[in-house]
Amino acid sequence: MQVHVREFAGGSPDNNGNDSTALVARLIRQHVETSTPQEVTTEPKPVMVIRLQSKKQLRVVQDYCRTILNLPEDDVAVLTSDNKNTSSVFSAVVEKRRIPDGIRLVLTTSVFDLGLNVLNTNIARLILIEPQDSVEVIQFSARFRNVNV
């Protein structure tokens, strides 16, 4: 698993004039292209988890995934304090300690930082955008128990 920590200037992720958003866009595109199996497999798809500092940032990335990459809604989980009580993915993480198979990308805010343990072995990348300090990086990356950082 790779861990990336970056700043986020808030522009459109496909804007090549912005290094941080361009990097996030490039990493998502690369993940989508490499996690699409060419043959039928029973292995769960690799999952990329992006932790953003605000819901506004999250919406920018979500719009990019929907409009530019044409990712199916079922492949992307959006987890915030607004939907933590209604999201089936959030419920699965709380109750089963797993991100459900079929999810390729998780976009989340700080709602994911404390008290959750994720036991998936198919976490490919963690990306943290604008962490406040090193403790935040450690707390977030520690949620993922069965992967090597």
For the stretch 30-68, pLDDT in tens is 877 776 655 556 677 889 999 988 888 888 888 888 888
**Tens digit of pLDDT for each residue in 63-105?**
888 888 888 889 999 999 999 999 999 999 999 999 999 999 9
Cα–Cα distance list, 134 to 58, 112, 131, 145 (Å): 21, 16, 7, 19
Determine contact, residues 28/65, Cβ cutoff 8 Å. yes
pTM score: 0.80
Torsion on CA atoms 46, 50, 55, 59, rounded to nearest 10: -60
How far, in Å, CA of 44 to CA of 64, rounded?
24
